[in-house]
A and B are shown apart, each in its own frame.
Chain A
Amino acid sequence: MANFAIRVDNLSKQYRLGQRGGYKSLRDLLAEGLKRPAQFLQRNANQRDSSEQKTLWALENVSFEVRQGEVVGIIGRNGAGKSTLLKILSRITKPTRGRVEGFGRVGSLLEVGTGFHPELSGRENIFLNGAILGMKRAEIRRRFDEIVAFAEFEQFLDTPVKRYSSGMYMRLAFAVAAHMEPDILIVDEVLAVGDAAFQKKCLGKMDDVAKEGRTVLFVSHNMGVIQSLCSRAIFLRNGSVFADDSAAATVTAYLRTLEEQAVPDLMTRTERRGQGQIRLTHIDIRADENDPFSMLATGRPAQFVFYVSEIHPGMSCSFTVYDQFGQPVTYFDSTVHGQLDEVDSGANSDSKAKFLCEVDALTLIPGRYRINAAIMWNGEMQDHLEGAAFFEVAQGELMGRPVLADSGYGSTLLHHRWLRPV
């Protein structure tokens, strides 16, 4: 027997833009045929035309091997090819070039609750979903009680799923999926559902699976989870393998590329999402209003300034701060108003189109942080940048108490005081 569970050899996948998601209508084909009969016939004889349509290589020459029992994380930005890779590995779609070989029963979980039918009851959906995930009927029956116990509700078992809350729905769906017993488990970012307690439970389950010696391939944006669950990680960038190393090393490489792209002039960034009517142009992070290069420190004030290309009534700004492990630390959103919030009427001569977020005392431990920022308007995402800015927090004091560098127990601090017996 070969010493690998999966071998990926020069895998490439090409998509024709516009085709994905849409579908051809016969009318288009006929209209095309009437316009240029000769070309049309010729093309249909040749089956496919590659010259006219735009194409996109979602994956290009990806090669790697996964040993049996290895737990491999796959990371990368949106559109890097992670999902395409998982789809090929789980045999949902075919590669354009290259091949995959493997040994063992593959169970893939690209989405939670695939095939759930709203009209069927919870009980019925457990069986249906189990069968869709490749479980045998006897196997589902044997583990039925476990699944129900995992989902934590028995009283709704005979209620149609359409009456479930979304949380209940997710629980049930994950409970079924968690009881698959494949040799190779392929999981897309599906753990980011449900409440915190349930997420914890799901992660625990993932860890069990890994410890049992099953092979796991796991996509996540949560670098903390990747580092704690996986022994190894692969970083996909623009469809190619950029790094393939221990989880810690790959995560570091990934975070570094995010940082490299953090040029001050955000307008030159191309990897962004959103409608684009309003763009983030520049971000300033400073301790002092008068000194744009002032360094942030624990317990000191901080200002986050987001300059935008245009002002529109009702637009808002939000941003998330991530620690160096890629874990989200805290989230700010200008749509949720506080009593001290103000509107800049533009009276100051230097007031540019900007959002300013002021923090009186920064309660972050010393270290390096990353910001993902977004601008919303009209209920639509206008602009979204991953790794929009980076900042360093220096050592400082919080209410006169010196703050130690990374203790390994979280990145935030709270204002507090002790009452000691001695």
Chain B
Amino acid sequence: MQIESLLQPSPPQTPPQTEEELTQSYFVVDPAQRWGSQDLSELWKFRELLYFLIWRNVKVRYKQTALGVIWVVLQPLLMSFLFSIVFGELGQVSSNGAPYLIFAFAGLLPWQLFAHALSTSSQSLVTDQQLVTKVYFPRLIVPLAAVLAGVIDFTITLVVLVGLLIFYGVSISAAMLTLPLWVLLLLGAAMGVGVWLSALNAQYRDVQYAMPFLAQFLLFATPVAYASDLVPAKWQLLYALNPMVGVVDGFRWALLGQEPRLGISPLISAIVVAILLISGIVYFSRVEQSLADVI
């Protein structure tokens, strides 16, 4: 065997770790448990991968399109026009005094992130199947990256909305300071649903066929095109179980500022989001263990 003679020298790499470092990086691979678990320190260790996957999802999104990032603004803008014509003009639906265009836009802002999270995160594990079956990392990163990639679009849309608010002369109020809170609630809702759907779709591809319908249904069950007080009082509680009701109410309250009172929906929303998130992660952890064999 003459292989040695073919070898070329290459620059030295950093030497392997010292003994202490090695001892610290002890690992165990055990059989699957009845319930999986999430190791937060492990997630933290892989934060750069999360960053790169978000970055990839954003970069790839509008590749080979002529308008590129303009689509981000165009989509909610066109939808808002449509809503203000159909609901505002033809349907004479009340927007509680705000110009219908802004009213609809303020609802579409969180809705778009949620809808995007719904479709991409449910597909995420399947799309990244190759990664899941060939490399180790905490799998939770995949649906999280899908959800968080929408934050860029969200930010751009928010800037456009602020421009619209100034254009329409909406006064600035203290309520606007609560916006980060609503964004957090929105992200929680998107992640809760995203984590659930990604794990479900990995096992049952039915999810991807149900998704368009689910998205449509939720759009009507969320006060995007109309105000939430259009729903009769006796149904309000049931209605608020959709976590996006509280989120959209909150966004409108914070941004448009003309509604003095905020109903109970944000509180219910927060509870539902917490339940979704926790149960989602528990379910995900369980599926995660056999993911590479099942997907």
Partner-B contacts on A (CB < 8 A): 1, 15, 19-20, 23-27, 29, 68-69, 87-106, 108, 110-111, 114-115, 117, 119-120, 124, 127-128, 131-134, 136-137, 146, 160, 179, 181, 183, 200-201, 203-205, 207-209, 212-214, 224-225, 227-229, 325, 408-409
Hey, which chain B residues are within 8 Å of A214, CB to CB? 16
Q: How far is the CA of A212 from the CA of B15 in the complex (A)?
A: 7
Q: How far is the CA of A28 from the CA of B290 in the complex (A)?
A: 20
**B260 proximal to A (CB < 8 A):** no
Additional A-B contact list (9), CB under 8 Å, known A26-B204, A92-B133, A131-B53: A90-B136, A94-B30, A103-B26, A119-B64, A131-B48, A179-B13, A203-B3, A213-B15, A408-B1
A105 and B49 within 8 A (CB): no
Q: Which residue of B lies closest to A125 (CB)?
A: B56
B32 and A1 within 8 A (CB): no
A1 and B19 within 8 A (CB): yes
Hey, which chain B residues are within 8 Å of A132, CB to CB? 49, 52, 131, 135, 137
Q: Which residue of B lies closest to A110 (CB)?
A: B134
**B14 proximal to A (CB < 8 A):** yes
B131 and A114 within 8 A (CB): yes
A117 and B293 within 8 A (CB): no
Q: How far is the CA of A203 from the CA of B16 in the complex (A)?
A: 20
Q: Which residue of B lies closest to A224 (CB)?
A: B1
**B31 proximal to A (CB < 8 A):** yes
Stretch from B4-12, B84-92, B162-170, B265-273 at the A interface: B4-12
B6 and A103 within 8 A (CB): no
Q: A1-B19, A103-B26, A227-B1 are in contact. Are A91 and B7 (CB under 8 A)?
A: no
**B2 proximal to A (CB < 8 A):** yes
B125: min CB distance to chain A, Å: 11
Q: How far is the CA of A26 from the CA of B200 in the complex (A)?
A: 10
With beta carbons under 8 angstroms apart, the residue of A19, A99, A213 that contacts B30 is: A99
Q: How far is the CA of A301 from the CA of B281 in the complex (A)?
A: 70
B6: min CB distance to chain A, Å: 5
With beta carbons under 8 angstroms apart, the residue of A23, A27, A68, A87 that contacts B294 is: A23
Hey, which chain A residues are within 8 Å of B3, CB to CB? 203, 207, 224-225, 228-229
> Which of A90, A92, A200, A212 neighbours the largest number of chain B CB atoms within 10 Å of its CB?
A92
A93 and B292 within 8 A (CB): yes
A228: min CB distance to chain B, Å: 4
Q: How many B residues face the partner with a CB closer than 8 A?
A: 58
A89 and B29 within 8 A (CB): yes
Hey, which chain A residues are within 8 Å of B31, CB to CB? 94-99
The B25-71 residues at the A interface (CB cut-off 8 A) are 25-32, 48-49, 51-53, 55-56, 59-60, 63-64
A208 and B10 within 8 A (CB): yes
**B17 proximal to A (CB < 8 A):** yes
Hey, which chain A residues are within 8 Å of B1, CB to CB? 224, 227-228, 325, 408
Hey, which chain A residues are within 8 Å of B32, CB to CB? 94, 96
Q: A99-B31, A201-B8 are in contact. Are A181 and B292 (CB under 8 A)?
A: no
B129: min CB distance to chain A, Å: 10
**B23 proximal to A (CB < 8 A):** yes
6 contacts between A and B (CB under 8 A): A68-B22, A91-B27, A94-B32, A104-B25, A128-B52, A208-B9
B60 and A120 within 8 A (CB): yes
CB-based A-B contact count at 8 angstroms: 174
Hey, which chain B residues are within 8 Å of A29, CB to CB? 204
A115 and B130 within 8 A (CB): yes
Q: How far is the CA of A95 from the CA of B33 in the complex (A)?
A: 11
A1 and B22 within 8 A (CB): yes
Hey, which chain B residues are within 8 Å of A120, CB to CB? 56, 59-60
The B68-98 residues at the A interface (CB cut-off 8 A) are none
Interface mask (B197-235 → A, CB under 8 Å = 1, otherwise 0): 000001111100000000000000000000000000000
Hey, which chain B residues are within 8 Å of A97, CB to CB? 31
A104 and B135 within 8 A (CB): no
A88 and B131 within 8 A (CB): no
Top 4 A-B pairs ranked by shortest CB distance? A131-B52, A100-B29, A204-B7, A91-B136
Hey, which chain B residues are within 8 Å of A208, CB to CB? 7, 9-10, 13
B295: min CB distance to chain A, Å: 7
A111 and B25 within 8 A (CB): no
B136 and A108 within 8 A (CB): yes
Hey, which chain A residues are within 8 Å of B63, CB to CB? 119, 160
**B236 proximal to A (CB < 8 A):** no
With beta carbons under 8 angstroms apart, the residue of B22, B59, B137 that contacts A183 is: B22
With beta carbons under 8 angstroms apart, the residue of A99, A102, A134 that contacts B26 is: A102
Q: Which residue of A lies closest to B50 (CB)?
A: A131
A101 and B28 within 8 A (CB): yes
**B242 proximal to A (CB < 8 A):** no
Q: Which residue of B lies closest to A99 (CB)?
A: B30
**B112 proximal to A (CB < 8 A):** no
A224: min CB distance to chain B, Å: 6
The B276-294 residues at the A interface (CB cut-off 8 A) are 289-290, 292-294
Q: Which residue of A lies closest to B132 (CB)?
A: A92
